[in-house]
Amino acid sequence: MIRLDRVTVRYGSGAHGIAAARDVSFTVAPGEAFGLVGESGSGKSTVLRGVAGLIAHAEGVVELAGEAMPRRRTRAQRRLVQMVFQDPYGSLHPNQTVDQALASPLRIQGLGDGEQRIAASLREVGLGPEHRFRYPHQLSGGQRQRVAIARALIVQPRILLLDEPTSALDVSVQAEILNLLTRLRREHGLTMLMVSHDLAVIAHLCERVGVMQHGVLVERTTADALASGDVAHKHTRELLRSNAGFDSAV
Partner 1 sequence: MSGVAWRAWLLDPAPASRRQARFGRWFRGWRSFSANGMAMAGFLIVLALVLIAVAAPLITDPHAAVAQSLAHRLQPGSAAHWFGTDELGRDIFARIVFGARITLTIVALVGAIVVPVGLGIGLPAGYFGGAIDAVLMRVTDIFLAFPRLVLALAFAAALGPGINNAVVAIALTTWPPYARLARAETITRRNAEFVQAAVLQGATPASILFRQIVPLCLPSVLIRLTLDMAGIIITAAGLGFLGLGAQPPAPEWGAMVASGRQVLLDQWWVATIPGIAIFVTSVGFNLLGDGLRDVADARSA
Partner 2 sequence: MTAAPLLTLRNLRVTFPGPHGDVAAVRNVSFTLGRERLGIVGESGSGKSTTGRAIMGLVPPPGRFTADEMRLGDTDLRGLSERGFRRLRGRRIAMVLQDPKYALNPVMSVGRQIAETHRAHMRAGARAARRAALDMLAAVRIRDPERVYELYPHQVSGGMGQRAMIAMMLIADPDILIADEPTSALDATVQTQVLAILDELVRGRGMGLILVSHNLHLISAFCDRVLVMYAGRVVETCEAGQLHHARHPYTRGLLAALPELGRRRELLPQLQRDPAWAADAG
Residues that bind partner 1 (CB under 8 A): 52-54, 73-75, 78-79, 81-83, 85-87, 90-95, 97, 99-100, 104-105, 108-109, 129-135, 138, 148, 151-152, 155
- CB atoms closer than 10 angstroms to residue 207: 15
Q: Give how far Cα 170 sits from Cα of 55, 141, 175, 203, Å.
A: 31, 9, 9, 19
Asked if 200 interacts with partner 2 (CB under 8 A), we say: yes
- CB atoms closer than 10 angstroms to residue 75: 9
Asked if 16 interacts with partner 2 (CB under 8 A), we say: no
Choosing from 14, 94, 171, 189, the residue that interacts with partner 2 (CB under 8 A) is 171
Asked if 32 interacts with partner 2 (CB under 8 A), we say: no
- CB atoms closer than 10 angstroms to residue 13: 7
Nearest to 134 by CA among 98, 187, 90: 98
HEC profile for 54-96? CCCCCEEEEEECCEECCCCCCHHHHHHEEEECCCCCCCCCCCC
Name the binder of 216 from partner 1, partner 2, none, CB < 5-8 A by kind.
none
Interface stretch with partner 2, choices 13-21, 66-74, 147-155, 239-247 (CB under 8 A)? 239-247
97 DSSP 8-state letter: -
Q: Which is nearer to partner 1, 68 or 108 (CB)?
A: 108
Choosing from 13, 95, 116, 172, the residue that interacts with partner 2 (CB under 8 A) is 172
Nearest to 211 by CA among 42, 74, 80, 69: 42
Name the binder of 134 from partner 2, partner 1, none, CB < 5-8 A by kind.
partner 1
> Given the rule CB under 8 A, which residues bind partner 2?
39-40, 141, 170-176, 178-179, 182-183, 197, 199-201, 203-204, 223-224, 226-228, 238-243, 245-248, 250
